[in-house]
Structure 1
Amino acid sequence: METLPVAEVATLLNQPVSRVHQLVRDGQILSLRRDGEVVVPAAFFSPGEERAEVVKGLPGTITVLRDGGYSDEDILRWLFSVDDSLPGSPMSFLTEGRHREIKRRAQAMAF
């Protein structure tokens, strides 16, 4: 999984670093530590006309799984693990705009 440092995410979103930290606190995106640095998966963002945006359906999926008791680590693992019943991972489905199917699966897992 390709990751970006928080400062790069801020540049990508054309937002201050504090806003990226707020997105993490609010559960809109997830972060992790790699080699002591806070990073965010690059796949969480899609290009926009003026700036990148959080992939549609990702915040809702994170919320459903958190509400179901999943840790951020478990959510990241699930999002990026290849699922035999999908042609790829849940995250690849989200980036393709098929967020309803992924959210449905997340709801089934969480409850």
Structure 2
Amino acid sequence: MDPKDDVVQAWLTIPEVAERLSVRVTAVRRLLEDRDLVAVRRGERRVLSIPAGFLDDDGPVAALKGTFTVLADGGFDDEEIIDWLHAPDPSWPAGENALGAIRAGFKTEVRRRAMEEAM
């Protein structure tokens, strides 16, 4: 992922996510394995990083998991999933992108568009 093309405002490393959620690093790795979160390698050191917007106060935004599945089943890799969820688009209800729409409660609309996009 080229930093100049980055649409994500804030990134967190696995240890940062663990600290934020007050869990062990192994628990964050489990969230990644279970696809509750997705991550990409970034920067010169290729550090595994997770968009900060994928988390709320309680952990991963619950509505994201199904959206990750829809997009992955449509052939999107994790980098493309992250980009799609963060791509600016004023047509989203109550948000400037798909992630904002999900966080505002429009999960069904986001998944409908994800299915269309993945076809």
Describe the SS at the equivalent of 2:37. coil
Say how many residue pairs are matched. Answer: 107
The TM-score, its normalising length taken from structure 2, stands at 0.81
Describe the SS at the equivalent of 1:4. strand
Please identify runs of 4+ aligned residues in structure 1 that moved more than 6 A: none
Q: CA RMSD in A?
A: 1.4
Percent identity over the alignment is 35
2:67, 2:111 within 8 Å by CA — same for their partners in 1? yes
For structure 1, which segment, 70-79 or 12-21, has the greater mean C-alpha deviation from structure 2 after superposition?
Answer: 12-21
In the other structure, the counterpart of 1:11 is 19
Describe the SS at the equivalent of 1:39. strand
In the other structure, the counterpart of 1:21 is 29
Matched ranges for 1:31-110 at <5 A: 31-35=39-43, 36=45, 37-47=47-57, 52-86=58-92, 87-110=95-118
- Per-residue CA deviations over 1:27-50 (Å, capped at 9, x if unaligned) read 211112222222111000111xxx
Which blocks of at least 5 consecutive residues in structure 2 are unaligned? 1-8
